Structure 1
């Protein structure tokens, strides 16, 4: 039976930056120009990573601050974050900075959490750019502590680098090597190199029972072979004990008889004068 792993990706960012458009483009290959404010949408997908079934929860959060309790809960339960801003809006980048500060305040392990900073609306950047990618990169790698993070510009409208966003998150989560094949929505098959897959950190939820069983198996000896070897050793030990116990008792009886005879002889010798 394949191992079961689970990861929750949480999208944070200001209103109207395109968080929902990114998710729907990735999952359903669809896009619409109509804007609808999101309260909270949760999507579930499964992926086959070569013997390991990865369950991915994608949580699309609200862009405003009307639901602080929901926001805190989404940050507390996340295994990875996608912080989305619009390349055409400088205030949206400030909102991303605020989102990161909330993560840093609530999560003591923030340096170990995979984070992708996504600059959406790259298709409009040539004429309406307000946030340069170099500015975001300098903020992430120069001003902040060392993070497991990457900056990627994308366009949900033109389907540019959308799949790359999610592939990067899985790569930062150490589920996929950086050079693995692309990830598609809905029961997609991803076959990374054997050395590319690693277990997730302690922050991640997984089927620990099956994982511990696999850890007990030696890589050079299969489970059936190992159990048969153990059984053989146990049987050999049991049979050896079974043979030794009667033999040891007989030796004790013989020794006791000899001792009694010696004592009787000694007593007879003492009585003879």
Structure 2
């Protein structure tokens, strides 16, 4: 299953500086999780700038913010990039199956991921179709999200990235579909380097789903419907103050 194409209803812009007349948009908080070197940072930058950058330094947890408009709703989008599990560093220990080694390695960074999971309202779980270990990390990541948010309906989308590298494929499309069905999540295979529209649609879909949850729960921010008060006009205040102190101002008539 893939998100519907919504690229034609989308607008990206920097979040403007505050002003007296500006209505604060609703906050949408997303986190992108996955193993190392699966393209998480590239996906975020591709979405926000339409540019593809292939090489990044190891991620330490950057937060990206943009003002977006999805199908007429103005949203303040925040996207949390996260450190990844380095599946290539697993020890060659044949006593444990690969899945167990992935999960053991993942547990070493769960503490650092927990703060991101607690903060976010929607999640992208990303693996590379060229790295089976990164695919194996998706299930424990999903389980950790549900553990942190046991009563939440926070939307989760599973993304198989690097679809352009078919010659190096280690994870079949059916594997991604099966896992998503088991976890009750949406699944899509994309190529961040070749197709901006797919990347855009994934993020837009999550924005819409989180926004729906806000509407259903009635958790709209008060500032999104009530404008900020205008700053006082000091010249007008001075004029009115002098007028009140002026002897020419008539005193109110006494009550009979």
TM range (shorter): 0.5 to 0.7
Q: What is the root-mean-square deviation in Å for CA atoms of aligned residues?
A: 2.5
Match of 2:165 in 1: 124
Classify 1:205/1:86 alpha carbon distance in 2 versus 1 (closer, same or farther; 3 Å): farther
Match of 2:193 in 1: 157
The structure whose residues are more often helix, as a share, is 1
**Does structure 1 residue 30 correspond to structure 2 residue 70?**
no
Partners of 1:165 and 1:50 lie apart in 2 by: 15
Secondary structure at the aligned position of 1:34 is classed as: coil
Q: Using the TM superposition, give the Cα deviation of residue 50 of structure 1 relative to its aligned residue in structure 2, in angstroms.
A: 6.6
**Does structure 1 residue 207 correspond to structure 2 residue 249?**
no
Q: Using the TM superposition, give the Cα deviation of residue 14 of structure 1 relative to its aligned residue in structure 2, in angstroms.
A: 0.1
**Does structure 1 residue 138 correspond to structure 2 residue 178?**
yes
Classify 1:207/1:131 alpha carbon distance in 2 versus 1 (closer, same or farther; 3 Å): same
> Equivalences for 1:95-244 in 2 at 5 Å?
95-110=137-152, 112-125=153-166, 127-141=167-181, 143-144=182-183, 147=184, 149-160=185-196, 161-174=198-211, 199-202=214-217, 206-208=220-222
Classify 1:40/1:210 alpha carbon distance in 2 versus 1 (closer, same or farther; 3 Å): closer
- 1:111-140 CA deviation, whole Å, 9 max, x = no partner? x11111111100012x12211222222222
| Structure 2 alignment gaps of length 5 or more | 1-21, 86-105, 227-256
Partners of 2:199 and 2:72 lie apart in 1 by: 26
Question: Are the counterparts in 1 of residues 70 and 204 from structure 2 also a CA contact under 8 Å?
Answer: no
TM-score, L = length of structure 2: 0.64
Higher relative contact order (Cα pairs below 8 Å, separated by 6+ residues):
2
- 1:44-92 CA deviation, whole Å, 9 max, x = no partner? 0112357643100000000035654331111011110000000111111
Question: Are the counterparts in 2 of residues 3 and 51 from structure 1 also a CA contact under 8 Å?
Answer: no
1:13 pairs, out of 14, 34, 45, with 34
Question: Are the counterparts in 2 of residues 25 and 31 from structure 1 also a CA contact under 8 Å?
Answer: yes
Partners of 1:34 and 1:3 lie apart in 2 by: 35
- 1:212-254 CA deviation, whole Å, 9 max, x = no partner? x8xxxxxxxxxxxxxxxxxxxxxxxxxxxxxxxxxxxxxxxxx
Partners of 1:10 and 1:102 lie apart in 2 by: 13
- Runs of 4+ with deviation above 6 angstroms: none
Secondary structure at the aligned position of 2:145 is classed as: helix
Q: Which has the larger radius of gyration?
A: 1
Classify 1:205/1:159 alpha carbon distance in 2 versus 1 (closer, same or farther; 3 Å): farther
Q: Using the TM superposition, give the Cα deviation of residue 152 of structure 1 relative to its aligned residue in structure 2, in angstroms.
A: 1.1
Q: Using the TM superposition, give the Cα deviation of residue 199 of structure 1 relative to its aligned residue in structure 2, in angstroms.
A: 4.4
Question: Are the counterparts in 1 of residues 26 and 224 from structure 2 also a CA contact under 8 Å?
Answer: no
Match of 2:123 in 1: 81
The count of corresponding residues between Structure 1 and Structure 2 is 183
TM-score, L = length of structure 1: 0.60
